[in-house]
Chains A and B, each alone.
Chain A
């Protein structure tokens, strides 16, 4: 039962609960017009303490397409937060107005605090370099729809694996399905944190770490590219040195299998050149569309509409 629940970490939901969401998302994809009024009278609040036009628009489009309405802020300077209001107070106030809340915050664990005080479901729309569960729902629905399965996959994660929250959530989620293995491609400075590796060890999931994308691309079913995020660095010099460390060139794609798919949480900077977009294996814009559908399904479930 997902009604009234929060989504803070993708692991909050069982595999069966995720399947429920994916099934509903598929129904919406097949007959979107049947769902255009199901959230009539419902209000989503988007509390974005750091800018993210893409994720916010995805949530807002999802609610509006379901017939609901949206309120919120897209940067904290225009809200009571700038007056020093705590998260606990903000969520209790907003929870009195809205039926469901999507929160993005630069501090890790902020949506968890919101969920502790909120009278309505809270969805983590990204908290610092920590978790981004609705991106993971998006990634899983994309993989399931295109590859036809969520198990027996070789998944390569490339780029910023230290601060890249989408990668942490994806690895957590995919390691629950049978026989998946991970190839973690990053420079030394952006290696995956120890806690994430400990989790993999504990679950007995196989993974390798490498710095070289070219050497491993031929063995992958999925290549998950990430951007090196400027806002995660305290030091500008480190950012400049690392930002273009992996570029997915045509030469590299030539070494990949014909069924490999390329995913990216977007926005991209230089890591995927435009010339790759026409390659049928490039699926990152399909991913965006799946993201909106899966958020529609998620909000319907948490609101108890289905």
Chain B
């Protein structure tokens, strides 16, 4: 059994779908961190079977929109003095901007530079997003991250 010490002050990003931990790690640029960071992959989970966890020994300002977009089932525990001070549940954001580019080769975003890349959530149940410009629908948009 792998043992990782609990953190004193910082953030635990838990219930990450197995395989997505590295994406979040990279997105948050934790490879450049000057504090302790643990990325745990394929940990046993009652809810998910297998999950990834990230523990960060620092109080980061996190963009919950992006994390919710990557995986809305993620939970975030804010730790203070080794205790959970706050638990944050995420959800799919209604609108995401400049995170992903549209994959439709006919979309104007494939040729026009310096414009915001925008997707709007059209169905929370299925996680379907639609490109603001060409209306192309995506059921699993975060896979392009």
Contacts and interface: CB of A to CB of B under 8 A. Distances in A.
Contacts of B33: none
Contact of B112 (A88, A127, A128, A198): A88
Contacts of B109: 109
The binding surface of chain A is classed by DSSP as mixed
A160 B135 CA distance: 18
A106 B132 CA distance: 17
A113 B115 contact: yes
A110 B136 contact: no
Given A128-B106, A129-B106, A107 B135 contact: no
B54 interface: no
B104 interface: yes
A130 interface: yes
Contacts of B111: 107
Interface string A70-98: 00000000000000001110000000000
A108 B137 contact: no
Contacts of A107: 106-108, 110-112, 134
Given A195-B130, A198-B137, A110 B106 contact: no
A193 B134 CA distance: 12
Interface in A209-252: none
Given A88-B114, A113-B112, A195-B136, A108 B104 contact: yes
B135 A113 contact: no
A106 B107 CA distance: 9
Interface in B56-110: 104, 106-110
Contacts of B106: 106-108, 128-130
A194 interface: yes
A108 B122 contact: no
Nearest to A87: B112
Contacts of B132: 109, 112
B49 to A, nearest CB: 30
A65 interface: no
B107 A109 contact: yes
Contacts of A193: 137
A165 B110 CA distance: 19
A56 B113 CA distance: 27
Contact of A109 (B114, B134, B137): B134
A21 to B, nearest CB: 24
Interface of A: 86-88, 105-110, 112-113, 116, 127-130, 193-195, 198
18 contacts: A86-B112, A86-B113, A86-B114, A105-B108, A106-B106, A107-B111, A108-B106, A108-B107, A109-B108, A110-B112, A113-B108, A113-B112, A113-B133, A127-B108, A128-B106, A128-B134, A193-B137, A198-B128
